[in-house]
Amino acid sequence: MKEIVQINSIAEVHAYFGLKKPKHPLISIIRVSDSVEDIDIENFKYAFNLYHISLKDNCEYTISNYGQNSYDYQEGSMVFVAPNQVLEIERQNINRGDTGWSIVFHPDLIRKSELGKRIDQFSFFEYASNEALHLSNEERQTVTEISQKIEKEFSSNIDAHSQTLIISNLELLLNYCVRFYDRQFFTRTNLNQDIASQFEKLLKNYYGNNKQLEFGIPSVKYCGEAMNMSPKYLSDLLKKETGQSTQDHIHKYIINKAKNRLLNSNESASEIAYSLGFEYPQYFSKIFKKKTSMSPHEYRQRLN
């Protein structure tokens, strides 16, 4: 089993990878070509308790996270990693001409800012590494220029405005990545439609095999893993394509089954709830009313 190296600060990142001391205590930009050649990065896993935004640009290496899939992502591809995730890095042919870079920053940098309040809204920090953002040349230039502005700001004399400008540019970078992911979802419409139908089939098979009786309602995590995706990526993909998240789709499927049972059987609402995988009938009634504006009893009375 590979040893897990805990890295908790920007200073530790620089020390471990043999880099010069950082110019700012809470943020750094590291280029692939800056890394020291004799560092044995392949025999360790890395637990970065930092935010990590990486662009691959003319370099060859594999990165994996969540302990799931690894992915040789193409030139101009980006991955995003939140704190407390474990990474593995496999170096292949890194050379001094490599132009890939990583922005690494500590949560304390943004903790008191508006970005700190909304950082969880950037769901791609919870995507798996094989769900990378693939950039066009123009998009790659955009994010690289923003990264250069960030680096220039923390490399200059730090003053009362430095942190505000660094955070503003970080937020600008992330907002552009939201736009670029939307473009990526849009340009893969046919694939996304296939995934939406595959997801519907997954739910049918789950209930067709009565898995709900043993495992309960299918969770978003279960659905993501069953479709080889991170839960956040699947949910965002479905929402872009259908307007509904993974949880919405699960609830819609269950409510439709419940409606059929209410109108075509004499089972009580509690019996139907248990048969659909609910642990508590009250939770079933709450979801049913939220989706239909009626309780199960009212629905049966009105439509029978």
Mean pLDDT (the chain, rounded): 84
DSSP class of 40: -
**Among 28, 39, 125, which residue's Cα sits nearest to residue 85?**
125
pTM of the model: 0.72
Q: How confident is the model at residue 42 (pLDDT cuts 50, 70, 90)?
A: low
Say yes or no to pLDDT of 253 above 70: yes
Q: Average pLDDT, stretch 2-20?
A: 86
Domain ranges in the chain with CATH number 1.10.10.60:
191-303
Do 99 and 34 form a contact (C-beta atoms < 8 A)? no
- Is residue 169 helix, strand or coil? helix
Span 262-290, pLDDT tens digits: 999 999 999 999 999 999 999 999 999 99
Span 214-245, pLDDT tens digits: 999 999 999 999 998 889 999 998 888 788 89
- Is residue 102 helix, strand or coil? strand
Do 29 and 50 form a contact (C-beta atoms < 8 A)? no
Which two tokens mark 61? 């290496």
Quick one: pLDDT at residue 193? Answer: 61
Q: Average pLDDT, stretch 146-170?
A: 93
Distance CA 15, CA 178 (A): 32
The CATH number of the domain covering residues in 191-303: 1.10.10.60
Residue 199 CB neighbours (<10 A): 24
Strand-pair category, 27-31 with 44-48: unpaired
Span 113-155, pLDDT tens digits: 999 999 999 999 988 767 889 998 899 999 999 999 999 999 9
Least confident residue range of 35-44, 121-130, 251-260 = 35-44
Which two tokens mark 246? 């993974």
Give me the architecture of the 3-187 domain, per CATH: Sandwich (2.60)
Domain ranges in the chain with CATH number 2.60.120.280:
3-187
**Among 84, 10, 88, which residue's Cα sits nearest to residue 48?**
84
**Inter-helix orientation angle 246-264/231-242, to 10°:** 70
- Is residue 136 helix, strand or coil? coil
As a whole-number percent, the residues of the chain with pLDDT over 90 amount to 57
